[in-house]
């Protein structure tokens, strides 16, 4: 019973963290961070 309670509490805390992150940043910010991974590094541009 204690393990189930602990698992529920950890899940609830993680859910609150994700919800607060979405409230602060909004869903549109997630797309920008994903697009930043595709940007070519500055060093690669200098070599060309």
Cα separation, 26 vs 21, in Å, equals 8
Write phi, then psi, for 6 (nearest 5 degrees): -65, -40
State the pLDDT at residue 21: 86
The structure's pTM equals: 0.51
Please tell me the predicted confidence (pLDDT) of residue 12.
Answer: 96
Three-state secondary-structure class, residue 4? helix
Q: Write out the two tokens for 34.
A: 């994903």
How high is the mean pLDDT in each 10-residue block of the chain (48 residues)?
92 94 72 58 56
Give the pLDDT confidence score for residue 8 in this predicted structure: 95
pLDDT computed for residue 24 by the predictor? 83
Q: What pLDDT is attached to residue 47?
A: 58
CA dist., res. 36 & res. 41, Å (int): 10
From CA 5, how far away is CA 16, in angstroms rounded?
Answer: 17
Residue-level pLDDT at 6: 95
């Amino acid at each position: 019973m204690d393990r189930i309670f602990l698992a529920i509490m950890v899940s609830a805390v993680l859910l609150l963290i994700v919800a607060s992150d979405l409230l602060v940043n909004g869903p549109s910010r997630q797309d920008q961070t994903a697009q930043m991974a595709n940007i070519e590094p500055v060093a690669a541009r200098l070599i060309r």
